[in-house]
Amino acid sequence: MEVKELQFSLVELNLFLDTHPTDQQALALFEQINQQLQMKVAEYEKRFGPLTVQGQKAGCSYWQWVEGPWPWEMSY
Amino acid sequence: MWIYEKKLEYPVRVSGPNPKLAKAIITQYGGPDGELAASLRYLTQRYTMPTSQGKGLLTDIGTEELAHMEIVAALVYNLIKDASISQIKAAGLEGYYADHDRAVYFVNGEGVPWTAAYIQSKGDPITDLHENMAAEEKARSTYEWLINLSDDPNVTDVLRFLRQREIIHFQRFGELLDIYQDQLGRKKVF
């Protein structure tokens, strides 16, 4: 859930920065949240498997990507 | 190119089978003001936006709309996947069921399939941005009416999130329109 919140903040900042590309406060916040997100994504992928295909665990003997559930099958 | 993230932008939870509600919500999947139309509209208009900034904004909003299309699909899928035949009949979904079983297809609430005629791409950024702002407002209104129809608080919560995003997109398109109109006012030709 934390990953979702941080990623959503980045989506929102992304669109804001598209039309306010020199807003220093938004730029700083983007950088800060982006760093936090990297850490949380790594933790998430360790527990639940890859969020993108690049999340495949090094040395894993099977392809994790095709393991369920898919996002529309989650019960939160 | 695009890279898929194995998650929804906003979590989808439904209280139980509700094909009647699915029948209304599916219009935001394949209807005139739905998420497929939104994403394809922006992703095809972006090629002729006159500045890198405009190309970026349309790419990014078009991409977010794909994520919204997935959220709407998740709602419809979960509302009909365990519905009984009698519930499907009671919802007036026999015609849909005959063609698609419980699969998710691009139609509006009355079963009319999606058409590219729902969207425009005029090559004139002022024209296209006005279309996009109107499209965001039409989608926002549709979510309002869907919230009025919803008898599932979990679904209403998701619809509120989607409604809110339309307001943000309207705002961002408006800002880009202002930027372009300022540039035109300074007689800068694209």
Is B12 among the domain residues?
A: no
CB pairs under 8 A between A and B: 69
Is the pLDDT at A76 greater than 90? The verdict is no
Q: Say whether B70 and A71 touch across the interface (CB within 8 A).
A: yes
Looking at the 3D structure of chain B, how many domains does it have?
1
Chain B residue closest to A45 (CA)?
Answer: B6
Q: Is the pLDDT of residue B188 over 90?
A: no
Q: For residue A50, what are the contacts with CB-CB under 8 A and spacing of at least 6?
A: A56, A57, A64, A65, B6
Mean pLDDT of chain B: 96
**Confidence (pTM):** 0.96
In this prediction, residue A75 has a pLDDT band, given cuts at 50, 70 and 90, of low
Asked whether residue B170 carries a pLDDT value surpassing 80, the answer given is: yes
Q: State the ipTM, two decimals.
A: 0.94
Give the 3-state secondary structure percentages of chain B, helix then strand then coil, rounded to 5.
Answer: 65, 0, 30
- Residue B4 belongs to a domain: no
Task: Give domain status of residue B55, yes or no.
Answer: yes
| CATH number, domain with residue B66 | 1.20.1260.10
A72/B7 touch (CB, cutoff 8 Å), yes or no: no
Q: Which domain holds residue B61?
A: 19-185
pLDDT score recorded for residue B190: 57
Query: What per-residue confidence (pLDDT) applies to B184?
Result: 83
On whether residue B7 sits in a domain, the answer given is no
pLDDT at A74 over 70: yes
Mean predicted confidence (pLDDT) in A20-46? 97
Partner-chain contact A71 B168, CB within 8 Å:
no
Please give the pLDDT value at position B186: 77
pLDDT in tens, B36-56: 999 999 999 999 999 999 999
Average pLDDT over residues A24-34: 98
B 147-186 residues inside an 8 A Cβ radius of A = 168-169, 172, 175-176, 179
Q: How far is CA B1 from CA B4, B43, B63, in A?
A: 10, 12, 11
Write down the domain spans for chain A. 2-56
Considering the domain boundaries, does residue B2 fall inside one?
no
